[in-house]
Amino acid sequence: MTITIQHLYYLVGAVLAFTAVATLTDRSNAKRYSTGLFWALYALVFLVGDLLPALWVGVGAVAMALIAGFGGVGAGKHQGPSPSQYAASAKRLGNKLFVPALAIPLVTMVGTLSAKYLAIGGAPLLDPKNTTLVSLGVGCVVSLALVCWLTRETPAQGLRESHRLTDALGWALVLPQMLGMLGLVFSDAGVGKAVAYVTTTYINMDVRFVAVAVYVVGMALFTVIMGNGFAAFPVMTGGVGVPVLVGVYHGDPAVMAAVGMLSGYCGTLLTPMAANFNIVPAALLELPDKNAVIRAQVPTALTLLAVNVFLLNFMMFR
Amino acid sequence: MLSDVNLWPLIGVAIIIVGFVLRFNPMLVVVVTAIGTAFAAGFPIDKILATIGTGFIKTRNLPLIILLPLAVIGLLERHGLRQHAQNWISSIKSATAGRLLIVYLAARQLTAAVGLTSLGGHPQMVRPLLAPMAEGATEARYGTLPERIRHKLRAFSAATDNVGLFFGEDIFVAFGAIVLMTTFLREAGIDVEPLHVAVWGIPTAICAFLIHAWRLYRLDGVLARELAAEGIVSLSAAAKTPTRGV
């Protein structure tokens, strides 16, 4: 038997279904019906999403966006332990508390590195196409067993804690997937082609340094729009990199690719479109300003982008 | 033929920028942009919804990294993990938020550079461990902190994890981005060695470390000034001159 990403979808779908039911019966949540519906729809995406016609899933995604967009996703009040109970528990368990927390990355790492050698009856144990994510899933389950044993809690309490944190995150939890979807719609609709056309038509790249700057800054800007350097790379490299930097000025393509992609990453540091890295952490850390993480990154990103223009210019034409 | 390019889908770029600038709900902005862009590309309504649906299913792997660890992290927090992380760091006398984050930046970048990108991340490392430690190290010096300073420390913790990951993973040869780049270039008729792409990423990675570490190095001083402006001085300084008002 191979553990695949599909198993993780079922697991996450089941946890979200629990959250949906718990929300519907949660009287401390003023918006429990719309919030419950929101999480129920999301649970369905994971449980049966691939079996439904794409049109229905599209309607569901739009419905979720409307619920979230008109303030329908609320949070209940979760009664946690008192500060003195926290302190007592922290004192009692001490450094043992670090063990399950560090077990997640550790198991993920070991799973990723050893996936090639783990097999039962010829079938790989971990899905070879998604080793990291599947290892992460295994790591979380192992760590859950560890933490339950350590704290004498039940997995059911784990579900309640998951509900508490899901409430704290709210719709921000779904935003990365929404943006991923938008990236695919953009490429289906030909946004990349249009951007490449506009850049190459309206900017004069007869000066080599200008062409380098256009490529570097273009990678960052396009990543800001798409939220992902991977989406920007084919557009800017196909539009400017290969025909101008390599074709006209005979630069080293390996340098161009390396510095180009890392310039895209500077863009990732600057954009709310990269929700997984910028918006979700702000929600996770309970920051009132959703853009606080981006603000902390702006000086690093802009300085590095300027440095990249010069690095590319000197290393590519050495 | 470039002249046949349909420029109307660019309207999507305009919608998303306007939406974010006017601070509409991002979920709503994204869906309106998706519908608007697909409409501008001439898709009929059922194809628009099906494109959204297909995209939403294809990207189901994205939230896994946040959703899977929630139960464990929640249980550990319930038993005082964050408090313990704060206590632990305050027992290290030389620890400051800036120094802690510089060490973390170096560790994150180096481990990501050898492919260990999962040793970190916001739900499993930053929220339960790194951010409480940055707060704990500062609290050990200044006592109770104002909310604004706490938020600043948390934002810097998250930012440091991002910078370390981004500018580490790209110099790992087997990383997806390198595969994507070499595949794209090969299709364009240019053969490059994945190793060369990885190696030429190193200068930018070093600059990223220097720039961000310099900002973290200055962070301790910035915090001291901001706290002083609010009338909070370090506990050791206060102990030496107990009569000083500010």
A199 and A308 within one domain: yes
Instruction: Determine the pLDDT at residue B238.
Output: 65
Q: Do B67 and A12 touch (CB under 8 A)?
A: yes
Contact with chain A for residue B114, Cβ under 8 A: no
Contact with chain A for residue B140, Cβ under 8 A: no
> Given B31, B167, B184, which is nearest A265 (Cβ)?
B167
Chain A: nearest CA to B106, how far in angstroms?
Answer: 15
Instruction: Determine the pLDDT at residue A195.
Output: 80
Chain A: nearest CA to B245, how far in angstroms?
Answer: 31
Instruction: Indicate the helix (H) or strand (E) that contains A119.
Output: strand A119-120
Closest among A259, A182, A257, A273 to A223, alpha carbons compared: A273
Q: Do B26 and A300 touch (CB under 8 A)?
A: no
Neighboring chain B residues of A136 at a CB cutoff of 8 Å: 64-65, 68-69, 118
Contact with chain A for residue B146, Cβ under 8 A: no
Disruptive mutation site among A39, A48, A104 for chain B (greatest number of B CBs within 10 Å) = A104
CA distance B70 to B61: 16
Instruction: Determine the pLDDT at residue B32.
Output: 95
> Given B66, B201, B205, which is nearest A173 (Cβ)?
B66
Chain B: nearest CA to A292, how far in angstroms?
Answer: 6
A219 and A134 within one domain: no
Neighboring chain B residues of A250 at a CB cutoff of 8 Å: none
Q: Using one digit for the tens of pLDDT, what is the confidence trace for B45-84? A: 999 999 999 999 988 988 888 899 999 999 999 998 988 9
A87 and A152 within one domain: yes
Q: Do B120 and A105 touch (CB under 8 A)?
A: yes
CA distance A152 to A144: 11
Per DSSP, the residues of B148-171 read HHHHHHHHHHHHHHHHHHHHHHTT
Contact with chain A for residue B44, Cβ under 8 A: no
Do residues A13 and A43 touch, judged by C-beta distance below 8 A?
A: yes
Neighboring chain A residues of B26 at a CB cutoff of 8 Å: 175, 178, 272, 275, 279
> Given B71, B76, B190, which is nearest A162 (Cβ)?
B71
Residues 6+ apart with CB under 8 A from B85: A98, B128, B129, B132, B133, B136
pLDDT band at B240 (very low <50, low <70, confident <90, very high): low
Q: Output the CA angle A20-A26-A32, nearest 5 degrees.
A: 65
User: Does residue A178 lie in a domain region?
Assistant: no
A205 and A150 within one domain: no
CA distance A293 to A315: 32
Give backbone dihedrals phi and psi of B61, rounded to 5 degrees, phi first: -70, -20
Chain B: nearest CA to A308, how far in angstroms?
Answer: 7
Which residue among A122, A154, A173 closes a domain?
A173
Q: Do A65 and B27 touch (CB under 8 A)?
A: yes
Neighboring chain B residues of A303 at a CB cutoff of 8 Å: 211
Q: Using one digit for the tens of pLDDT, what is the confidence trace for A35-76? A: 999 999 999 999 999 999 999 999 999 999 999 999 999 998
Do residues A258 and B170 touch, judged by C-beta distance below 8 A?
A: yes
Give backbone dihedrals phi and psi of B223, rounded to 5 degrees, phi first: -60, -45
With a pLDDT cut of 90, the percent of chain B lying above it is 55
What does each of the 318 residues of chain A score in pLDDT, given as a tens digit? Answer: 789 999 999 999 999 999 999 999 999 999 999 999 999 999 999 999 999 999 999 999 999 999 999 999 999 898 888 888 888 888 889 889 889 988 888 888 888 888 888 888 778 888 888 888 898 899 999 999 999 999 999 999 999 999 999 998 999 899 989 988 988 888 888 887 788 788 778 888 889 999 999 999 999 998 998 888 888 888 888 888 988 999 999 999 999 999 999 999 999 999 998 998 999 999 999 999 999 999 999 999 999 999 999 999 999 988
Task: For residue B8, count CB atoms less than 10 angstroms from its CB and return exposed for 0-12, middle for 13-18, buried for 19 or more.
Answer: middle
For residues B127, B165, A231 and B7, what is the CA-based torsion angle, rounded to 10 degrees?
Answer: 70
Q: Give how far Cα B74 sits from Cα of A48, A173, B131, Å.
A: 27, 16, 15
For residues B190, B192, B194 and B199, what is the CA-based torsion angle, rounded to 10 degrees?
Answer: -130
Do residues B15 and B29 touch, judged by C-beta distance below 8 A?
A: yes
Average pLDDT of B30-44?
A: 93
A45 and A166 within one domain: yes
Instruction: Determine the pLDDT at residue A162.
Output: 95
Chain B: nearest CA to A40, how far in angstroms?
Answer: 15
Total number of domains in chain A: 2
> Given B8, B46, B80, which is nearest A87 (Cβ)?
B80
Q: Which stretches of chain B are DSSP H helices?
A: 11-21, 26-40, 45-58, 64-67, 70-78, 81-90, 97-113, 131-142, 147-169, 176-187, 194-200, 202-229, 235-240
Contact with chain A for residue B109, Cβ under 8 A: no
Q: Do A246 and B71 touch (CB under 8 A)?
A: no
Instruction: Determine the pLDDT at residue B244.
Output: 46
Which residue among A146, A173, A200 closes a domain?
A173
Q: Do A181 and B125 touch (CB under 8 A)?
A: no
Instruction: Determine the pLDDT at residue B245.
Output: 46
A303 and A238 within one domain: yes
Chain B: nearest CA to A142, how far in angstroms?
Answer: 10
User: Does residue A179 lie in a domain region?
Assistant: no
CA distance B179 to B187: 12
Average pLDDT of B105-125?
A: 88
CA distance B190 to A182: 30
Range of the domain at A32: 1-173
Neighboring chain A residues of B131 at a CB cutoff of 8 Å: 285
Neighboring chain A residues of B199 at a CB cutoff of 8 Å: 254, 258
A157 and A39 within one domain: yes
Average pLDDT of B81-98?
A: 90
Task: Identify residue B234 by its one-letter amino acid code.
Answer: S
A19 and A155 within one domain: yes
Q: Do B69 and A140 touch (CB under 8 A)?
A: yes
Least confidently predicted of A173-177, B133-137, B162-166, B204-208: A173-177
CA distance A25 to B163: 41
Do residues A37 and A67 touch, judged by C-beta distance below 8 A?
A: yes
A160 and A48 within one domain: yes
Q: Do A101 and B129 touch (CB under 8 A)?
A: yes
Chain A: nearest CA to B136, how far in angstroms?
Answer: 14
Report the chain B residue with the minimal C-alpha distance to residue A229.
B177
A64 and A12 within one domain: yes
Which residue among A147, A173, A199 closes a domain?
A173
Q: Do B75 and A144 touch (CB under 8 A)?
A: yes
A139 and A214 within one domain: no
Report the chain A residue with the minimal C-alpha distance to residue B73.
A101
A8 and A139 within one domain: yes
> Given B5, B61, B167, which is nearest A133 (Cβ)?
B61
> Given A58, A64, A97, which is nearest B79 (Cβ)?
A97
Do residues B69 and A104 touch, judged by C-beta distance below 8 A?
A: yes
Instruction: Determine the pLDDT at residue A215.
Output: 94
Chain A: nearest CA to B35, how far in angstroms?
Answer: 9
Instruction: Determine the pLDDT at residue A39.
Output: 97
